[in-house]
Chain A
Amino acid sequence: MSVVNNLVDIRALAALVPDGAKLVVAKDESGVAMAATRELVRRGVRNLHLVTVPVSGLQADVLIGAGCVATVESSGITLSEFGTGPCFTRAIKAGSIRMKDATCPAIYAGLQAAQKGLPFMPLRGIIGSDLLKHRDDWRVIDNPFGTDDKIVAIAAIGPDVALFHAPLADRFGNVFIGRQRELMLLAHASRKTLVTVEQVVEGNLLDDDARSGATIPALYIEAIAHAPKGMWPLGYGDAYPIDAAWMRAYVQMARTAEGFESVVAQWLAGDGALKPLVGAGLGELAGAAA
């Protein structure tokens, strides 16, 4: 196998997400490409259809707050112990995003259908939920092999782009995901997959039997960027904890549009602590953080 030249810098990686893309991202425990998300915000990507697998937190909230998102398809947007997503809540109230409320297994089912090249995947449960009333891509059908057995057909979710963070890549374009198996599903279901990694290793991950089963082969991967601490301010397994001070400051500041602007200015300027908004002009704060 030849060396694949799909290692790019993180801005080049973010540039591969077109405006209007259906972008699928992972939940916090699986691997969130926050450093790449920052580059998406810097670039000012617009009109994303954001699909979260199956939920999201800070990543969805900043993308929504920064005006990058037209549609959110999710089973839950929450900053968990830090609170609700302030930008998400504001956008819902303002009607500035289209919300496709889902339930977790339906998101997996939609991706599984796409992975198999099928139009839909049937799924138990859901019937009786008001979620169904608002989803024209979920239909109640008769089980063709049963009698009087209703079941929900979930239309395939075929993302244009998958974006997530993983522990390792090699120079052959392969990405090791460890136990975060659903990242494999994201890659299989999407037309192209962009990955940020903590580390780039020598050798071929597929030559190592201990790793190959948990490796996404290069055939699915469009580009990889080396992004150490690429999940900050979120934490990553045992590698580094969540930046709780940053998250607490975020939740406070992002309650207002002005505060959120200050967050973005400081975040784009670097990895420092967030300085609260205390009547200071925005330019002054951004300058101080830079």
Chain B
Amino acid sequence: MSAAVTPTELLIGSIARLLAGVRHVAVGASSPIPGAAALLTRALSEGSAAGATRVSVLGSRRHNAFTNGGVELFDLAAQGRIDAFFLGGGQIDGDANINLVGTDGYPQGGVRWPGSFGSAYLYHLVPRVILFREEHTRRVFVPRVDFISAAGPRDDRVYRPGGPHAMLTGLCLFDFDKLRRRFVLLSVHPGHSLEEVRDQTGFDFDVAEQVTQTAAPDATALVLMRGRVLNEIGETYPNFAQLWRATLPVPATA
């Protein structure tokens, strides 16, 4: 277990730390890294006094206990039974609005993305929404999104027990200050710098008094990640698991 921690493993470990203590985390479509992080959180929480974290991975047969169809996730969220979820965005702005529809005008714009999925709803209802987007560039992190799929928190007196909790990218980790409604840079990943984050971010953000280097997962997390979690996530994301496995040190026994 001496191989260096890969960027993917750093992201998985970082998300798992953001999920510490949640009772139930759900993972949406096309989300292998959040899925692996949720499964790691479960593995780490087993045997704890609070009990194991419940994980619902959409698209999985083994790690999803829903029996009432796709609507069940949304019903659970509205009841407060989902503590954490993940959203990404083709564009994300400094007010934490996210855009999953497309750029430059609607409906016929520049780039068209698949669509908003459950974002417009879950963003309001899940307390710990973790924004996750690996690509950290000015085309993603824009001053103002071209289309609001899901609105960030605002003074609209709308029922909104949920909202953004943190944002993890390929460069860094931001906290989201709910009172000031600003992203706050907490840590920068190894090999990257605050200047790089500023250069690649199209909106203003605050910077914590002490910006640290994003911590690598500890030995326990790394062993679980590369063994059990890799196997579990491989059921839903076989290609992702195969690519990840190829980065691992050659095991002593085949």
Contacts and interface: CB of A to CB of B under 8 A. Distances in A.
B158 A101 contact: no
Contact of B69 (A80, A88, A185): A185
A109 to B, nearest CB: 8
A233 B152 CA distance: 39
A102 to B, nearest CB: 7
B157 interface: yes
Given A55-B117, A150-B158, A237-B61, A182 B148 contact: no
B121 A106 contact: yes
Contacts of B108: 92-95
A130 B105 CA distance: 12
A184 B69 contact: yes
Given A76-B117, A81-B239, A105-B74, A125 B125 contact: yes
B227 interface: no
A95 B74 CA distance: 32
Given A92-B107, A104-B121, A150-B158, A131 B116 contact: yes
Interface string B99-121: 01110001110001111111111
A127 B107 contact: no
A102 B156 contact: no
A108 B71 contact: yes
Contact of A76 (B74, B78, B106, B115): B115
A99 B115 CA distance: 10
A102 B107 CA distance: 13
B170 to A, nearest CB: 19
A123 B121 contact: yes
Contacts of B101: 101, 130
B237 to A, nearest CB: 8
Interface string B148-169: 1111101011110000000000
Nearest to A92: B112
Nearest to A54: B70
A276 to B, nearest CB: 21
Interface residues of A, number: 53
Contacts of A92: 102, 107-108, 112
A89 B101 CA distance: 11
A149 interface: yes
B233 to A, nearest CB: 13
A30 B70 contact: yes
Contacts of B147: 130
A279 B159 CA distance: 58
Interface string B194-224: 0000000000000000000000000000000
Interface string A55-79: 1000000000000000000111110
A92 B114 CA distance: 11
Contacts of B70: 27, 30, 53-54, 104, 108, 182
A84 B151 CA distance: 24
A181 interface: yes
Contacts of B117: 54-55, 75-76, 103-104
Nearest to B154: A128
B124 interface: yes
A108 B77 CA distance: 14
A36 B16 CA distance: 43
Contacts of B113: 84
Contacts of B20: none
Contacts of A130: 101, 106, 147-149
B2 interface: no
A207 B59 CA distance: 31
A129 B106 contact: no
Interface string A1-45: 000000000000000000000000001011000000000000000
Nearest to B98: A129
Nearest to A78: B114
A126 B112 CA distance: 20
A102 B116 contact: yes
A145 B59 CA distance: 37
Contact of A128 (B74, B100, B106, B158): B158
List 5 A-B pairs, minimum CB-CB distance, nearest first.
A128-B151, A182-B69, A125-B121, A76-B115, A78-B114
